[in-house]
């Protein structure tokens, strides 16, 4: 009886630990195709999500609607994530990804764009404050 309780408790602890693991940038690498666009309350599309997005190994996010590649950072440190959530409370409960168009700026707390992201298999959800979530499928 004690063994089964111990094993059950261990299994629960391991599953909670696995769910708490942060998404790493390697999981995003590659090209993603938009399958559900992000829109604001008036139905206008979000300018920060494109028809296709590519995440590169050198930390760049490339999309046709961006004037140039943005640097991105998945799961910033706790302070930078807290700053992003203070500015964007509707991203609460999602992984945080910061995007910065300025290649020389190294202070991620000043990144102008914060995304809430979730990755489930080959589906990527990206949310920008004020818009519905965009859905992507891995190409």
Is 17 inside a domain boundary?
Answer: no
Is 82 inside a domain boundary?
Answer: yes
Q: Say how many domains are in the chain.
A: 1
pLDDT of 90 strictly over 80: yes
Percentages of the chain per state (helix, strand, coil), in multiples of 5: 30, 30, 40
Q: What integer pLDDT is reported at residue 11 of this predicted model?
A: 39
Segment 1-19, tens digit of pLDDT: 444 443 333 333 333 333 3
- Domain span including residue 30: 22-138
Q: What integer pLDDT is reported at residue 45 of this predicted model?
A: 94
Count Cβ neighbours within 10 Å for each residue of 52-71 and write b for 16 or more, e otherwise.
Answer: ebbbeeeebbebeebeebbb
Confidence class of residue 120 from pLDDT cuts 50, 70 and 90? very high
Is 16 inside a domain boundary?
Answer: no
Question: Which whole-number Å values give the CA distances from 121 to 79, 92, 118, 136, 138, in the listed order?
Answer: 29, 21, 10, 11, 9
- The rounded mean pLDDT for the chain is 85
Confidence class of residue 42 from pLDDT cuts 50, 70 and 90? very high
Averaged over 86-105, what is the pLDDT? 93
Q: What integer pLDDT is reported at residue 22 of this predicted model?
A: 65
Is 123 in a helix, a strand, or coil?
Answer: strand
Is 120 inside a domain boundary?
Answer: yes
61, 53 Cβ separation under 8 angstroms? yes
pLDDT of 56 strictly over 60: yes
Is 78 inside a domain boundary?
Answer: yes
Q: Read off the pTM.
A: 0.80
Taking the C-alpha atoms of residue 129 and residue 133, their distance in angstroms, rounded to an integer, is 9
Is 1 inside a domain boundary?
Answer: no
pLDDT of 59 strictly over 90: yes
Q: What integer pLDDT is reported at residue 72 of this predicted model?
A: 94
CATH number at 105 reads: 2.40.128
């Amino acid at each position: 009886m004690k063994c089964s309780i111990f094993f059950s408790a261990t299994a629960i602890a391991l599953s909670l630990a696995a769910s708490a693991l942060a998404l790493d940038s390697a999981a995003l690498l590659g090209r993603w195709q938009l399958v559900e666009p992000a829109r604001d309350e008036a139905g206008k599309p979000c300018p920060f999500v494109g028809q296709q997005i590519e995440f590169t190994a050198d930390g760049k996010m490339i999309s046709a609607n961006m004037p140039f590649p943005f640097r991105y950072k998945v799961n910033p440190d706790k302070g930078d994530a807290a700053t992003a959530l203070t500015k964007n409370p509707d991203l609460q409960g999602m992984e945080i990804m910061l995007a910065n168009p300025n290649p020389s700026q190294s202070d991620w707390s000043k990144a102008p764009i914060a995304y809430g992201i979730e990755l489930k298999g080959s589906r990527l959800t990206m949310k920008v404050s004020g818009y519905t979530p965009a859905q992507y499928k891995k190409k």
